[in-house]
Amino acid sequence: MCPKSHKSSYTIPCASSFRDAISALAVSLRGNVADVARSILLTVPEEVIRSIPDPGGPPPGDREQTLIKSGPSAGKLWQRKPRIQVRLRSGYDVSTVRRALNIALRINNGSLELKLANPNALSPETEPDQKLSGEVERLKKIISVLAFDPLQEGVSTSEEALHVLGFAPRENPDKATVRARFRTLATIHHPDSHDGSHHRMSQLNTAMQLLCK
């Protein structure tokens, strides 16, 4: 049984466009923003994360409306700077979390490509952190549960292609959306990745060809 890691709630000020983009990415991956941040923070070295530009807080005039839930002003609308709320293990600073989310967005839109070393290649002197190992195992289980089951007869129709790429049966995504989803899933299922699958990757390739022809 892995020891529980202490988690903290982080408030990440950001532009509303950044908040909307990362929220949409999390939904497309069937997770939440914390899962997206965690996947980068646990797999990408901190020095690499810090080398990526920090998108920073919201520009002047960028505000969101929220409903006050308690106190004398309960029920009233309040304008505040846009933000993202995530729960992660303690010890990160806001800039690092925001940079990690920026990495996820850039990988998804194809403007950034990272090649990770084998996470199991530890030196004899290196002992894996138990808390970190527990988080990695949790993410691997999430990937396993969410991964699609390859179709026995292969992918030959648009409906089957939509299924493989995680779209609803009657959804009609444009080519840019299909390519973005393909890139995201390819980072997980490519045979060269730690938990990759040649069978799934082959069907992803076929699905994208069918929907983008």
Q: What are the distances in angstroms from CA 88 to CA 49, 92, 95?
A: 16, 8, 14
What is the pLDDT at residue 122?
Answer: 43
pTM of the model: 0.53
Architecture of domain 150-213: Orthogonal Bundle (1.10)
Residue at 207: amino acid letter: A
Task: Provide block-wise average pLDDT over 10 residues at a time, the chain (213 residues).
Answer: 64 92 89 90 88 90 79 75 90 93 88 66 48 68 66 88 85 88 82 76 89 85
Amino acid (one-letter) located at 213: K
Nearest to 38 by CA among 89, 82, 112, 85: 89
User: How far apart, in Å, are the Cα atoms of 131 and each of 45, 72, 128, 138, 154?
Assistant: 16, 42, 9, 11, 40
Query: What distance, in Å, lies between the first and last C-alpha atoms of the chain?
Result: 49
Q: Which distant-in-sequence residues (6+ apart) come within 8 Å of 158 by Cβ?
A: 210, 211
One-letter identity of residue 166: G
- Where do the CATH 1.10.287.110 domains begin and end in the chain? 150-213
Nearest-angstrom CA–CA distance, 9 and 176: 34
Residue 98 has φ and ψ, to the nearest 5°, of -65, -40
